[in-house]
């Protein structure tokens, strides 16, 4: 893991904030895996495999929000071969116009300069605890 890997993830978030979907998706490996937990307010929980499925999930998620919905890094650091991210997100609902605010934590695995695995967590503690789980250290993350 290197600072360059953190920059891959950081640029993916920046591309999303800029609505540069092509650049955002270029950061993903063809065989990327996204794990979305069943949690309160989590749309479409499940495991998504492949760049197309992951892109579709993110596209569906962003349809719920008005332009200007953004992510801001609160914390980014290496945990052995993983990248831990905590980010605040917010903006307005597309249909309701209601203000939406939240915070999520993520574990990323970057392989050969591409995001190979993303797992979303509702809390920082859950993400950090999961980073120590045997399946992450053995690379079995889906």
CATH number of the domain at 24, please: 3.10.450.50
Judged against a pLDDT cut of 60, whether residue 103 lies above it is answered with: yes
How far apart are the C-alpha atoms of 86 and 93, rounded to whole Å?
22
Q: What is the domain extent for residue 22?
A: 3-137
Instruction: Read off the pTM.
Output: 0.89
- In angstroms, the CA 2 to CA 5 distance is 5
Residue reference for tokens 């509702």: 122
Using one digit for the tens of pLDDT, what is the confidence trace for 113-140? 999 999 999 999 999 999 988 665 444 4
* Structure confidence at residue 59 (pLDDT): 86
The verdict on residue 102 lying in a domain is yes
Q: How confident is the model at residue 40 (pLDDT cuts 50, 70, 90)?
A: low
Residues 6 or more apart in contact with residue 4 via CB below 8 angstroms: 113
In a domain, 81, yes or no: yes
User: How many domains, the chain?
Assistant: 1
């Amino acid at each position: 893991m290197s600072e360059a890997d953190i920059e891959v993830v950081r640029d993916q978030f920046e591309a999303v904030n800029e609505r540069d979907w092509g650049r955002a998706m270029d950061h993903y490996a063809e065989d990327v895996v996204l794990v979305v937990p069943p949690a309160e307010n989590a749309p479409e929980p499940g495991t998504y495999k492949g760049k197309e499925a992951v892109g579709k999930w993110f596209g569906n998620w962003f349809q719920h929000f008005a332009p200007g919905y953004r992510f801001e890094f609160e914390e980014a650091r290496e945990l052995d071969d993983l990248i831990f991210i905590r980010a605040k997100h917010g903006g307005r609902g597309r249909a309701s116009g209601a203000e939406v605010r939240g915070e999520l934590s993520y574990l990323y695995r970057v392989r050969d300069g591409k995001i190979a695995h993303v797992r979303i967590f509702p809390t920082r503690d859950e993400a950090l605890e999961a980073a120590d789980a045997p399946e992450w250290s053995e690379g079995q993350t889906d």
